Amino acid sequence: MFQLFSHLCRSWLLALVATVCLLPLQAHAASYVSVKGATVNVRAQPTTRAAVQWQLDRGYPLRVLQKKGQWLQVADYEATLGWLFAPLASTTPHRIVTAPKARLRAGPGTSHRILTTLQQGEILRTLETRKGWVLVRLAGGTQGWMARSLTWGW
C-alpha cells in the first residue's frame, strides 16, 4: 500500500514540476492580431480616456504583449505601441513590408517573374507560408510571393 501511495505521489510531483517548468515557455509564446476597423486608435493606457498614441489602418499586424480586461497591449515590428481595444482586433493574418522595397513574385523563389515592387509600410493579407517565402494578397486583389524576411507579422 505504501509503495502504491509513494508511486502516486512521485507521479503527481513530476507532473506538477513539468507543468510549472513549462509555464514560462507558454507565457512567452507570441500571439498576433490585426487591426479590424478601417482606422483604429492605439492608446497610451487601457482606457478610452487615455491619449491616442497612433492611428493604424485595417490589417496592420500587431504582436500581443499582454491582456488587461478588454484591452491588448500591442507592439509592431519597431516598438511597443500601446493599448488596443480588443473588439477592434482580428485574428486574420497580415504582414507589413519592413524593407525599403520588396519584390512581389509569381512564385516562391527569386527565379520567378516580378509582378510588382512594394514599399515599406504596405500591408498584405497572408495566405500561405512556405520555406522562407510568403504568399500574400494586396488590397487591390493582386496575389504573389515575397521573401518572408522582407516582412513582419504572421
Look up the pTM and report it.
0.78
Where are the alpha helices (H) located in the chain, listed in sequence order?
A: 2-27
Instruction: Provide the mean pLDDT of the chain.
Output: 86
Comparing CA positions, the residue from 126, 150, 154, 152 lying closest to residue 138 is 126
Query: pLDDT band at 1, cuts 50/70/90?
Result: low
Q: What is the pLDDT of residues 25-84, one digit of tens each?
A: 334 457 999 999 899 999 999 999 999 999 999 999 999 999 999 999 999 999 888 999
% of the chain beyond a pLDDT of 70? 81
**DSSP character for 74?**
E
**Beta bridge pairs of residue 6:** none
Whether 132 has a pLDDT exceeding 70, the answer reads yes
Domains of the chain with CATH codes: 31-90 (2.30.30.40), 94-153 (2.30.30.40)
